[in-house]
Amino acid sequence: MQKSTIYFLLATLLFVSCSKPVTIYTLDAPDISPHKQTRYAHSTIKIAYPKSIKDMMSRDIIIKYDTNKQSFYQHSIWAENINRLTMAYITDVLERSRLFKTTMNYSSYAKSDFLLEIFIHQMHHRIYHEGSYALLSIKLNLLRSNNSNLIKTRHFNYRIPTATQDVKGFMESNQKAWNQFQSDMIEWIAQ
């Protein structure tokens, strides 16, 4: 065997053995009891595909610093892009809450009584000199499907301090933000 081939194989083995595995994260909807509200119990809702800024369409877990610089975690990614994760999370929460007879996602051809529009403004780890936070900002619009009339709208904002300034600390605080969001969203829709 040639020396160059041996050196190449050794370099490849060294690189592979030293590289850190990628950790994949998702959003977990907490256990939800069916809601007592019966206002929409005989209605259907369709969840529109969420809209967001370009940065959030990737699977990168975004970090923003107080110096207006932005980065992402090198060895940690989302299981899907934020838009897909958000749609799956909200669909799951609404199905389990039983606020509606049926909850569908945007790809369904079935007609629905209501449409929920989702705009993701922020979802990232914000690091300052004095600490760090998980930031979550989502705007929801509830519309009647037959005439597109806006029934109500709300902007949900959460800033949860992290225990540590790493991906683990961010994920714990981010999950707390999503748990608070799901609770607030259910109550907002039910009113």
- Read off the pLDDT band of 14 (50, 70, 90): low
DSSP annotation of 100 reads: S
- Read off the pLDDT band of 19 (50, 70, 90): low
pLDDT of residue 60: 92
Q: DSSP characters for 13-60?
A: HHHHHHSPPPEEE---PPP-PPPS--TTTT-EEEEPPPEE-GGGGSSE
Domain covering 22-190 in this structure, CATH number: 3.40.50.10610
Residue 157 has pLDDT above 70, yes or no: yes
Residue 83 has pLDDT above 90, yes or no: yes
Residue 116 identity: L
Q: What does the alpha-carbon distance between residue 61 and residue 73 come to, in Å, rounded to a whole number?
A: 6
The pTM of this model reads 0.86
- Read off the pLDDT band of 172 (50, 70, 90): very high
Name which residue leads in pLDDT, 120 or 8.
Answer: 120
pLDDT of residue 66: 83
Instruction: Kindly state the percentage of the chain with pLDDT values over 90.
Output: 73
pLDDT of residue 9: 60
Tell me which residue has tokens 């669909």. 91
pLDDT of residue 129: 85
Name which residue leads in pLDDT, 52 or 112.
Answer: 112
